[in-house]
Homo-oligomer: A and B are copies of this chain.
């Protein structure tokens, strides 16, 4: 820390080890050994299953250049927490690999504050990582724990199960549409959408409460239709979703471009809600779990025999899905 302070005071650039010491090193809590050795060390939690997930975010692809570093620190961790939530896991530890085009103390300060604020809120501990120079790139691996057999996998949906959605989808995609000038929003709706895009709230508490209750779950990162489609494919079932039952956030409800709003709702991506299935006899339990987690849960459809997703409007007609979910090599 003193070397870093010296460097900052002297106006010279910080080195790699100073960056790590100054912005990314905190005393190990539950880890036996944290940042600063060849590996981090943690005691394997006896009798628990480890859930492990990795996400990589690149500037210009997953977030625009110039994104507020505090929000970026939040989001880089949030997308991984969302994967843990979709598994029903309790967040425990994470590593961060980061490539930076330059050492900018103000940027690093904002980024690390955003990162640690969300980490502290979910009690997940940074235990190690890697720092290098290059195009701004963030790769986080997060580790959670849960009791054996209680993971919310993608392959457990059964015919007759209800299909549920937490919160509402589409606002993040609508924010992107506004950023590229495809739609105009009033200030309040624009702000709500930007917040959803830049500071997603991972549904960790809900995921935890769905253990032993949901038969399958996934987080909505590529769009509701595409991610529910992954569950259907893995589970070997189909689903019927009622468009009228899919909750519509105010910004989408008032959007003049109804085709765009519908595309955002069903295929937008970057929502980080949970779509999950549960037996019909557990409806009250699901509603109680969602209430306890502080998030709405909407019953949007049911699992059927066969394959694929059919979304029907109020008249019973199938809604065509113009856009598939987000595929990083298709766009």
A42's partner among B36, B47, B49, B141 (CB-CB below 8 A) is B49
Tell me, yes or no, whether A309 is within 8 Å of chain B by CB: no
Interface stretch, picked from A115-123, A292-300, A322-330, is A322-330
| A39-B87, A40-B52 known; A328 vs B33 contact (CB < 8 Å) | no
The answer to whether A83 and B137 touch across the interface, beta carbons within 8 angstroms, is no
Which A residues between 127 and 174 are near B, CB-CB below 8 angstroms?
A: 127-135, 137, 139, 141, 143-145, 148, 151-155
What is the size category of the interface that chain A forms with chain B?
35 or more
Report A274 CB to chain B, min CB distance, Å.
10
Report A331 CB to chain B, min CB distance, Å.
8
Report A49 CB to chain B, min CB distance, Å.
5
Tell me, yes or no, whether A187 is within 8 Å of chain B by CB: no
The 0/1 profile, CB within 8 Å of B marked 1, for residues 75-109 of chain A is 00000000110110100010111111001000000
Closest residue of B by beta carbon distance from A331: B133
The 0/1 profile, CB within 8 Å of B marked 1, for residues 214-235 of chain A is 0001110000000000000010
Complex CA distance for A52 and B45, rounded to whole angstroms: 14
Tell me, yes or no, whether A16 is within 8 Å of chain B by CB: yes
Complex CA distance for A217 and B37, rounded to whole angstroms: 10
Tell me, yes or no, whether A43 is within 8 Å of chain B by CB: yes
The answer to whether A53 and B36 touch across the interface, beta carbons within 8 angstroms, is no
The answer to whether A87 and B56 touch across the interface, beta carbons within 8 angstroms, is no
Complex CA distance for A86 and B38, rounded to whole angstroms: 6
Report A17 CB to chain B, min CB distance, Å.
7
Closest residue of B by beta carbon distance from A40: B52
The answer to whether A133 and B50 touch across the interface, beta carbons within 8 angstroms, is no
The answer to whether B37 and A134 touch across the interface, beta carbons within 8 angstroms, is no
Tell me, yes or no, whether A41 is within 8 Å of chain B by CB: yes
Complex CA distance for A97 and B76, rounded to whole angstroms: 14
The answer to whether A39 and B135 touch across the interface, beta carbons within 8 angstroms, is no
| A58-B134, A133-B328, A151-B33 known; A128 vs B39 contact (CB < 8 Å) | no
Tell me, yes or no, whether A6 is within 8 Å of chain B by CB: no
A99's partner among B87, B128, B132, B137 (CB-CB below 8 A) is B137
Known: A40-B51, A41-B50, A133-B328; 19 extra A-B contacts, CB below 8 A, are: A15-B327, A32-B49, A33-B153, A37-B154, A38-B84, A38-B219, A39-B86, A41-B49, A44-B50, A53-B128, A54-B96, A54-B97, A54-B128, A54-B130, A56-B99, A62-B132, A103-B329, A137-B137, A141-B141
Chain A residues with CB under 8 Å of chain B are 13-17, 19, 32-33, 36-56, 58, 60-62, 83-84, 86-87, 89, 93, 95-100, 103, 127-135, 137, 139, 141, 143-145, 148, 151-155, 217-219, 234, 327-330
